[in-house]
Amino acid sequence: MSDARQTAHDAAPRTGRCPYHVPGRAQADPCMDYLHLSDDEPVRWDEDLGVWLVTGFREVTELLRHPSLSAAWPEHGRTRLHTPAESGSESGDGSRTSELVRKWFMFNDDPAHAGARKIVAPLFSAERLAAARPVVEKLVDELLAPERDVLDVMEDLAVPLSSRVICHILGLPDDVAPRLAVWAPDIAALLVADYLPEVVTRGYRALHEVTAAVDDALRGEVPEGSGLWLLGEAHRRGEIGLQDVWATASLLIYAGFETTSTFIGKAVRAALHAGAWEDVVKAGPDAAVEELLRFDTSVQQVARFATAPVDVAGHRIAAGDLVLIMLGAANRSPAVFDDPDHLTPGREIRRHLTFGFGAHYCLGAGLARLETEVVLRRLGARWDVVEEAAAPVTRSHYGLTVLEHLKVRGGTRN
């Protein structure tokens, strides 16, 4: 195991549990354990979990565009890896999962997926990203303005930045932004543990509050061209119902907020742990961001369900099987990347799988890159050297390992 991988492992959370894991199996950050599987056995059946794990780069790209692998929620829900007995809950098989979340286009196949995605896709065009740049720069400058000895990259910078950016693109007022930090984890929990009564209560409350904030905003004047404006117009034209407006708004909040804030933190943490801060600055944020995305993504895996038998890498996936596609592991494939466990800012990367592949390729990839690049550029302009001021604090967020605190101290050489 390389130093970089060991360091990443050490920094991973000690508590909490990933839904894709067998209770009792000791793991810090479960997804980290899959990194080394990449080319040894690119597709495997995990007996304990009862799922297929796909870690090979080629197999991941093949399966993410396979017509018999569905992103849609099967009738039994997404939570079959936990049984009620295991959780101590009497209730549920996933059937109580919110209908709103089932409407998310991320969890639907074409044509429903494409129809809903198309409505908000203009938010992420090249022109819109160019227009977002000064907004992001201003926000980062404001957040970095107070003089501090120690900067908490998450609390002081990444969390307020990414929540404000989501509000900006959706057309929600700025004062909604702090509420995203409550909504996002509660909705995420609902996605994987909707047999637990307290998770259902909190998750539904969060979704209800999102819909109320959307309704409030739509009662006023939402900025023309914003996400709510696009959704409101589609609703007015009779193309979608109000449920769809709420669904896509809550999807953008869920998909765009903690994914990005955590990635910004992970990027800084990876550079520090690998002793590569100067290399990041030297390589330039654009090139560095791609390697940082490859090296340690915030979305380690995505799930698919087989709707018909699928033959891959000498295995037959049966209809109805759950397939976990391990993006982070595929990004460490030695067949594709030289010395893959080494963080090499400036490495030329033709393709990585951090934002997925195929029809569900991340809609917000450009925005996530922009936010991270601006943060690295601004921090790099201030600091030649950065050190950790305290051990990072992480929270297991079911599929995602969220960084809550990353305290750093920066300075110049002279």
Binding residues for ligand HEM (CB under 6 A): 71, 105-106, 117, 166, 251-252, 255-256, 259-260, 263, 297-299, 302, 327, 354-356, 360, 362-364, 367-368
Q: CB of 146: closest distance to ligand HEM in angstroms?
A: 25
Residue with the two structure tokens 């080494």? 342
Q: CB of 413: closest distance to ligand HEM in angstroms?
A: 31
Residue among 306 and 362 whose Cβ is closer to ligand HEM: 362
DSSP sequence for 329-391 = HHTT-TTTSSSTTS--TT---S---TT--GGG--TTHHHHHHHHHHHHHHHHHH-SEEEESS-
In the bound state, the residue with its beta carbon closest to ligand HEM is: 364
Q: CB of 154: closest distance to ligand HEM in angstroms?
A: 14
Residue among 53 and 196 whose Cβ is closer to ligand HEM: 53
- Of 314, 313, 264, which is closest to residue 289 (Cα–Cα)? 264
CA 166-167-172 angle, to 5 degrees, is 150
Q: CB of 301: closest distance to ligand HEM in angstroms?
A: 9
Residue among 92 and 298 whose Cβ is closer to ligand HEM: 298
- Of 255, 300, 325, which is closest to residue 66 (Cα–Cα)? 325
Residue among 232 and 265 whose Cβ is closer to ligand HEM: 265
The answer to whether residues 323 and 266 touch, using CB atoms and an 8 Å cutoff, is no
3 state SS for 145-181: CCCCCCEEHHHHHHHHHHHHHHHHHHCCCHHHHHHHH
Residue among 53 and 302 whose Cβ is closer to ligand HEM: 302
Residue among 35 and 302 whose Cβ is closer to ligand HEM: 302
**Facing residues of 316 across strands?**
311
Q: CB of 85: closest distance to ligand HEM in angstroms?
A: 29
Q: CB of 65: closest distance to ligand HEM in angstroms?
A: 10
The answer to whether residues 10 and 280 touch, using CB atoms and an 8 Å cutoff, is no
**Facing residues of 303 across strands?**
324
